[in-house]
Amino acid sequence: MMAAESSQTLERGLRLLRLLADGHGGRTPTELAGELGLSRPVVYRLLTTLQEEGFVRRSGDGRVNLGFGVLSLAQAVHPLLRAVALPALRRLAEQVGATAHLTVAEGDEGLAMAVVEPSWTHLHVAYREGARHSLGQGAAGLAILGLRRGETGYLVTEGQLQEGARGIAAPLAGLPGLEASVGVVTFGALDPAEVGPQVVATARELSIALG
Protein backbone atom coordinates (compact mmCIF):
# COMPACT_ATOMS: atom_id res chain seq x y z
CA MET A 1 0.00 0.00 0.00
CA MET A 2 2.79 2.41 0.93
CA ALA A 3 4.61 1.65 -2.34
CA ALA A 4 1.48 2.45 -4.35
CA GLU A 5 0.96 5.74 -2.48
CA SER A 6 4.62 6.70 -2.99
CA SER A 7 4.37 5.94 -6.70
CA GLN A 8 1.22 8.04 -7.00
CA THR A 9 2.86 10.96 -5.16
CA LEU A 10 5.90 10.77 -7.44
CA GLU A 11 3.70 10.70 -10.55
CA ARG A 12 1.76 13.73 -9.33
CA GLY A 13 4.95 15.61 -8.54
CA LEU A 14 6.35 14.94 -12.00
CA ARG A 15 3.11 16.05 -13.64
CA LEU A 16 3.24 19.27 -11.63
CA LEU A 17 6.83 19.97 -12.72
CA ARG A 18 6.00 19.32 -16.37
CA LEU A 19 3.05 21.66 -16.12
CA LEU A 20 5.25 24.43 -14.75
CA ALA A 21 7.87 23.73 -17.44
CA ASP A 22 5.26 24.18 -20.20
CA GLY A 23 3.96 27.51 -18.91
CA HIS A 24 5.20 31.07 -18.65
CA GLY A 25 4.84 33.42 -15.69
CA GLY A 26 4.06 30.66 -13.21
CA ARG A 27 0.75 29.42 -11.83
CA THR A 28 -1.11 29.79 -8.57
CA PRO A 29 -1.70 26.68 -6.42
CA THR A 30 -5.40 26.96 -7.28
CA GLU A 31 -4.61 26.95 -11.01
CA LEU A 32 -2.32 23.96 -10.54
CA ALA A 33 -4.99 22.08 -8.62
CA GLY A 34 -7.54 22.71 -11.39
CA GLU A 35 -5.23 21.72 -14.24
CA LEU A 36 -3.97 18.61 -12.46
CA GLY A 37 -7.40 17.55 -11.23
CA LEU A 38 -6.21 17.45 -7.62
CA SER A 39 -7.42 19.05 -4.40
CA ARG A 40 -5.63 22.14 -3.14
CA PRO A 41 -4.37 20.38 0.04
CA VAL A 42 -2.70 17.71 -2.11
CA VAL A 43 -1.11 20.37 -4.32
CA TYR A 44 0.12 22.31 -1.28
CA ARG A 45 1.77 19.15 0.11
CA LEU A 46 3.50 18.52 -3.23
CA LEU A 47 4.66 22.12 -3.45
CA THR A 48 6.06 22.06 0.09
CA THR A 49 8.21 19.01 -0.69
CA LEU A 50 9.35 20.32 -4.07
CA GLN A 51 10.15 23.75 -2.63
CA GLU A 52 12.25 22.20 0.15
CA GLU A 53 14.28 20.40 -2.54
CA GLY A 54 14.65 23.57 -4.64
CA PHE A 55 12.59 22.33 -7.59
CA VAL A 56 9.90 25.01 -7.29
CA ARG A 57 9.85 28.54 -5.89
CA ARG A 58 7.09 30.96 -4.89
CA SER A 59 7.14 34.54 -6.11
CA GLY A 60 5.92 37.53 -4.10
CA ASP A 61 2.47 37.34 -5.68
CA GLY A 62 2.08 33.69 -4.66
CA ARG A 63 2.64 32.24 -8.12
CA VAL A 64 4.68 29.06 -8.45
CA ASN A 65 7.61 28.72 -10.85
CA LEU A 66 10.29 26.12 -11.45
CA GLY A 67 13.15 26.40 -8.98
CA PHE A 68 16.86 26.52 -9.72
CA GLY A 69 17.27 22.93 -8.54
CA VAL A 70 15.87 21.87 -11.92
CA LEU A 71 18.86 23.53 -13.63
CA SER A 72 21.32 21.16 -11.97
CA LEU A 73 19.33 18.19 -13.27
CA ALA A 74 19.20 19.64 -16.77
CA GLN A 75 22.92 20.38 -16.80
CA ALA A 76 23.65 16.80 -15.75
CA VAL A 77 21.68 15.52 -18.75
CA HIS A 78 23.39 17.78 -21.31
CA PRO A 79 26.62 15.73 -21.55
CA LEU A 80 24.56 12.56 -22.08
CA LEU A 81 22.56 14.14 -24.90
CA ARG A 82 25.72 15.39 -26.56
CA ALA A 83 27.50 12.03 -26.28
CA VAL A 84 24.56 10.15 -27.80
CA ALA A 85 24.08 12.70 -30.59
CA LEU A 86 27.65 13.22 -31.81
CA PRO A 87 28.14 9.96 -33.80
CA ALA A 88 24.85 10.42 -35.68
CA LEU A 89 25.55 14.10 -36.31
CA ARG A 90 29.04 13.28 -37.60
CA ARG A 91 27.60 10.82 -40.13
CA LEU A 92 24.99 13.34 -41.23
CA ALA A 93 27.53 16.14 -41.62
CA GLU A 94 29.81 13.95 -43.75
CA GLN A 95 26.94 12.65 -45.91
CA VAL A 96 25.44 16.05 -46.61
CA GLY A 97 28.58 18.20 -46.53
CA ALA A 98 26.97 20.67 -44.14
CA THR A 99 27.22 21.56 -40.46
CA ALA A 100 24.95 19.24 -38.45
CA HIS A 101 23.49 20.15 -35.06
CA LEU A 102 21.22 19.03 -32.24
CA THR A 103 19.09 21.84 -30.84
CA VAL A 104 17.13 21.61 -27.56
CA ALA A 105 14.30 23.93 -26.51
CA GLU A 106 14.78 25.94 -23.32
CA GLY A 107 11.74 28.14 -22.85
CA ASP A 108 11.27 30.26 -25.96
CA GLU A 109 14.83 29.67 -27.14
CA GLY A 110 16.70 26.93 -28.93
CA LEU A 111 20.08 25.87 -27.50
CA ALA A 112 22.68 24.32 -29.82
CA MET A 113 23.58 21.28 -27.73
CA ALA A 114 25.95 19.55 -30.17
CA VAL A 115 27.49 20.71 -33.47
CA VAL A 116 29.60 18.81 -36.02
CA GLU A 117 31.21 20.40 -39.08
CA PRO A 118 31.98 18.30 -42.19
CA SER A 119 35.62 17.42 -42.72
CA TRP A 120 35.78 17.55 -46.51
CA THR A 121 34.16 20.86 -47.49
CA HIS A 122 36.03 24.15 -47.90
CA LEU A 123 33.07 26.37 -46.96
CA HIS A 124 30.71 25.63 -44.11
CA VAL A 125 28.79 27.50 -41.44
CA ALA A 126 30.64 27.96 -38.14
CA TYR A 127 27.79 27.26 -35.74
CA ARG A 128 29.06 27.06 -32.15
CA GLU A 129 27.76 24.86 -29.37
CA GLY A 130 25.94 26.89 -26.75
CA ALA A 131 24.50 29.33 -29.29
CA ARG A 132 20.92 30.40 -28.59
CA HIS A 133 18.18 31.77 -30.82
CA SER A 134 14.44 32.25 -30.82
CA LEU A 135 12.40 29.16 -31.64
CA GLY A 136 10.54 31.29 -34.17
CA GLN A 137 13.65 31.75 -36.31
CA GLY A 138 15.62 29.14 -38.21
CA ALA A 139 14.78 25.59 -39.22
CA ALA A 140 15.87 24.05 -35.91
CA GLY A 141 13.51 26.13 -33.79
CA LEU A 142 10.64 25.97 -36.26
CA ALA A 143 10.91 22.17 -36.33
CA ILE A 144 10.46 22.13 -32.54
CA LEU A 145 7.43 24.42 -32.78
CA GLY A 146 6.05 22.13 -35.48
CA LEU A 147 6.40 19.15 -33.16
CA ARG A 148 4.19 20.96 -30.64
CA ARG A 149 1.51 20.94 -33.33
CA GLY A 150 2.07 17.26 -34.04
CA GLU A 151 4.18 17.80 -37.17
CA THR A 152 7.18 15.49 -37.57
CA GLY A 153 8.43 16.28 -41.08
CA TYR A 154 11.38 18.46 -42.04
CA LEU A 155 11.42 22.23 -42.43
CA VAL A 156 13.51 24.37 -44.79
CA THR A 157 14.59 27.97 -44.20
CA GLU A 158 16.98 30.42 -45.80
CA GLY A 159 18.69 33.47 -44.34
CA GLN A 160 16.71 33.61 -41.10
CA LEU A 161 19.62 33.37 -38.66
CA GLN A 162 22.51 34.25 -40.96
CA GLU A 163 22.40 35.90 -44.36
CA GLY A 164 22.94 33.37 -47.14
CA ALA A 165 22.67 30.33 -44.85
CA ARG A 166 20.24 27.55 -45.70
CA GLY A 167 18.92 25.11 -43.14
CA ILE A 168 16.89 21.92 -42.96
CA ALA A 169 15.74 20.44 -39.63
CA ALA A 170 13.41 17.78 -38.26
CA PRO A 171 12.15 17.24 -34.68
CA LEU A 172 12.88 14.33 -32.36
CA ALA A 173 9.47 12.80 -31.69
CA GLY A 174 8.22 10.58 -28.87
CA LEU A 175 10.49 11.87 -26.08
CA PRO A 176 8.34 13.16 -23.18
CA GLY A 177 9.95 16.13 -21.47
CA LEU A 178 12.47 16.76 -24.26
CA GLU A 179 11.84 19.09 -27.19
CA ALA A 180 14.69 18.88 -29.69
CA SER A 181 15.52 18.85 -33.37
CA VAL A 182 18.29 17.72 -35.69
CA GLY A 183 19.33 19.92 -38.56
CA VAL A 184 21.97 20.90 -41.10
CA VAL A 185 23.00 24.38 -42.20
CA THR A 186 25.24 25.51 -45.06
CA PHE A 187 26.08 28.39 -47.37
CA GLY A 188 26.01 25.99 -50.30
CA ALA A 189 23.13 24.41 -52.17
CA LEU A 190 20.83 22.01 -50.35
CA ASP A 191 18.34 19.80 -52.17
CA PRO A 192 15.45 19.40 -49.70
CA ALA A 193 14.13 16.33 -51.53
CA GLU A 194 17.47 14.58 -50.95
CA VAL A 195 18.69 16.06 -47.66
CA GLY A 196 15.31 16.29 -45.89
CA PRO A 197 14.81 12.50 -45.62
CA GLN A 198 18.41 12.13 -44.35
CA VAL A 199 17.75 14.67 -41.60
CA VAL A 200 14.47 12.94 -40.70
CA ALA A 201 16.25 9.57 -40.54
CA THR A 202 18.89 10.99 -38.19
CA ALA A 203 16.18 12.53 -35.98
CA ARG A 204 14.42 9.16 -35.85
CA GLU A 205 17.72 7.41 -34.99
CA LEU A 206 18.33 9.77 -32.08
CA SER A 207 14.74 9.49 -30.86
CA ILE A 208 15.18 5.72 -30.63
CA ALA A 209 18.60 6.03 -28.95
CA LEU A 210 17.27 8.47 -26.34
CA GLY A 211 13.88 6.81 -25.87
Per-residue pLDDT tens digits for 12-32: 999 999 888 876 678 999 999
Indicate the pLDDT class of residue 77, thresholds 50, 70 and 90.
confident
Asked if 84 and 145 sit in the same domain, the reply is: yes
Cα(71)–Cα(87) distance, rounded to whole angstroms?
26
Q: Are 100 and 116 in contact (CB under 8 A)?
A: yes
Predicted confidence (pLDDT) at residue 124 exceeds the cutoff of 50: yes
User: How high does pLDDT run on average in the chain?
Assistant: 90
Which whole number is the average pLDDT over 76-100? 93
pLDDT for residue 100? 96
Per-residue pLDDT tens digits for 169-195: 999 999 887 899 999 999 988 999 999
Asked if 11 and 93 sit in the same domain, the reply is: no
Q: How many domains does one find in the chain?
A: 2
Strands (E) in the chain, as ranges, are 56-58, 64-66, 99-106, 109-116, 132-134, 155-158, 166-171, 180-186
Residue ranges in the chain assigned as alpha helix (H): 2-22, 29-36, 40-52, 69-96, 138-148, 192-210
Residue ranges in 23-68 assigned as alpha helix (H): 29-36, 40-52
Provide the residue range defining the domain that includes 97.
72-210
Q: Is 159 left (phi over 0), alpha (psi -120 to 50) or beta?
A: left
Asked if 171 and 188 sit in the same domain, the reply is: yes
Asked if 109 and 201 sit in the same domain, the reply is: yes
pLDDT for residue 76? 80
Q: Are 85 and 206 in contact (CB under 8 A)?
A: yes
pLDDT for residue 47? 95
Predicted confidence (pLDDT) at residue 91 exceeds the cutoff of 80: yes
Whole-model pTM: value is 0.75
Indicate the pLDDT class of residue 113, thresholds 50, 70 and 90.
very high
Q: What is the CATH number of the domain that holds 151?
A: 3.30.450.40
